[in-house]
């Protein structure tokens, strides 16, 4: 258990190292194991998990330790810089993901994209940079930076195992935000079928599930936020994924019962039947994916129980 805690600690540091990761982790491992041996010799017995956790807290927050190996640190003090850098990377990835999705949709549509409330990508990133920097500068000037470095070793994510990377989580978060903004009418996309004389609208069945879909999107965004902020809560995230997957399957099972999914008008008489066929196939595949995702996460939860992994 002690070695598992140290492995999780070193893995957390490694995720924030950009170069010479293997050498630095090996050096830190030797230093930590030497500390464990020295303390156990003094105690005359093996260290407990709580004692190991206290030693790791003394050693330093993983973000701070990784920050010591970063060559350049500017703008704000070294105490706050690692946390500013982590927040900045997360913010910029989410913004980039949102705009990449919007640009791709614009290219597919071949026309203008209306995004109410959203400025240009550059101006949004500059604004976000200024806001995040100002917040951390105020924390450094008027707050207590030491509180930011407080952490609990037992909250570290597993050193190994299948889990989404922060980039994947942030990208999925960005995609979810774009879809939620579109679904609630905050942004609008050009009708790509207008150029060929077709008008495609969503059938009334979707409106009946409007708030259920909003609830699904909220749960999806919440599960990604929890996975980002509390990577140790593996089982909680898995339960949230199971819940949102079953909710998604249930919503689509309700939708697929309808006779119409889209309302197509235009000169092509067979367009409605073609659209309905492909929509029904797509909905069936989506339901299967949701159920499979829930089954996979349930299987992983069961494996966690069999291996005796502590609940998170």
- The winner for highest mean pLDDT among 13-17, 68-72, 307-311 is 13-17
CA distance 308 to 54: 23
pLDDT band at 183 (very low <50, low <70, confident <90, very high): confident
Residue whose pair of structure tokens reads 């994209």 in the numeric block: 113
pLDDT band at 246 (very low <50, low <70, confident <90, very high): very high
CA distance 25 to 33: 12
Q: What pLDDT does residue 10 have? A: 84
- Min mean pLDDT across 80-84, 117-121, 289-293, 296-300 is at 117-121
CA distance 4 to 199: 59
Q: What pLDDT does residue 310 have? A: 44
Residues 183-193 as b or e (16 or more Cβ within 10 Å = b): eeeebebbeeb
**pLDDT of 175 higher than 70:** yes
**pLDDT of 17 higher than 60:** yes
| CB burial of residue 136 (10 Å; 0-12, 13-18, 19+) | buried
Name the pTM for this structure. 0.52
- Min mean pLDDT across 4-13, 87-96, 139-148 is at 139-148
What's the maximum distance between 2 C-alpha atoms anywhere in the chain?
A: 87
Closest residue by Cα to residue 229 from 170, 175, 146, 181: 170
């Amino acid at each position: 258990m002690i070695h598992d805690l140290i492995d999780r600690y070193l893995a957390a540091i490694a995720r924030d190292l950009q170069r010479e990761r293997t050498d630095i982790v090996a050096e830190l491992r030797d230093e930590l194991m030497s500390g464990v041996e020295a303390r156990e010799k003094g105690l005359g017995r093996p260290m407990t998990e709580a004692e190991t956790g206290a030693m790791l807290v003394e050693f330093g927050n993983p973000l701070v330790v990784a920050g010591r190996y970063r060559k350049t640190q500017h703008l704000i003090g070294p105490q706050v810089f690692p946390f500013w850098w982590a927040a900045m990377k997360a913010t910029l990835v989410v913004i980039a993901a949102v705009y990449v999705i919007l640009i791709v949709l614009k290219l597919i549509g071949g026309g203008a994209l209306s995004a109410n409330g959203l400025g240009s990508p550059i101006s949004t990133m500059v604004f976000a940079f200024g806001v995040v920097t100002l917040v951390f500068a105020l924390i450094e000037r008027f707050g207590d930076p030491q509180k930011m470095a407080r952490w609990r070793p037992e909250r570290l994510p597993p050193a190994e195992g299948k889990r989404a990377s922060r980039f994947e989580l942030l990208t999925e978060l960005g995609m979810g935000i774009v879809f939620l903004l579109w679904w609630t009418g905050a942004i609008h996309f050009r009708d790509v079928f207008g150029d060929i004389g077709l008008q495609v609208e969503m059938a009334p069945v979707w409106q009946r599930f409007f708030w259920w879909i909003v609830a699904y999107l909220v749960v999806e965004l919440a599960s990604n936020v929890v996975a980002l902020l509390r990577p140790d809560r593996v089982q909680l995230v898995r339960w949230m994924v199971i819940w949102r997957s079953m909710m998604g399957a249930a919503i689509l099972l309700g939708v697929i019962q309808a006779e119409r999914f889209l309302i197509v008008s235009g000169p092509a008489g067979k367009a409605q039947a073609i659209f309905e066929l492909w929509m029904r196939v797509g909905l069936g595949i989506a339901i299967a994916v949701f159920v499979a995702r829930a089954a996979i996460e349930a299987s992983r939860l069961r494996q966690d129980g069999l291996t005796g992994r502590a609940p998170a």
